[in-house]
Amino acid sequence: MTAEEYSNRTDLLAEALNLRLIDLPARLGISRSTLFSARKSHRTVTNKTARKLIAAEQTAGLRSRTQDTFESLIREIVRDELRAIADLTPSEISNFKSPIIR
């Protein structure tokens, strides 16, 4: 997740929860430093922090479990495709035909 995406999503969440941005970390269960450092690209958004954001978005009605499941499946497919490509030689890569991505 990019800093811009994280900033946009935390802005929307704070607005949906009727919170000031400075009060959002307490609701998410993260430190203020984590929130504001990630928003400014000084720190990457960890999986743990992203999961907390997603859970809060779901609770606030901003995301559905279906959407999250779909995104998870897409990530899994892309990961598997990249692993398959990584095992190929350069000549095999140029001839690689993905069974999923066309």
Residue predicted with more confidence, 33 or 92: 33
15: pLDDT strictly greater than 90: yes
The neighbour count for residue 58, using CB atoms within 10 Å, is 14
Lowest mean pLDDT among 3-7, 54-58, 86-90: 86-90
Helices (H), the chain: 3-16, 24-28, 32-39, 47-59, 65-86, 90-94
21: pLDDT strictly greater than 60: yes
Q: pLDDT by residue (tens digit) across 41-72?
A: 888 888 899 889 989 998 999 887 677 777 77
Residue 99 banded pLDDT, cuts 50, 70, 90: low
What is the average per-residue pLDDT within 90-94?
72
Lowest mean pLDDT among 10-19, 28-37, 89-98: 89-98
Domain boundaries, the chain: 3-63, 64-102
The neighbour count for residue 13, using CB atoms within 10 Å, is 21
Kindly state the helix (H) or strand (E) to which residue 82 belongs, with its residue range: helix 65-86
How many angstroms separate the CA atoms of 22 and 35, rounded? 9
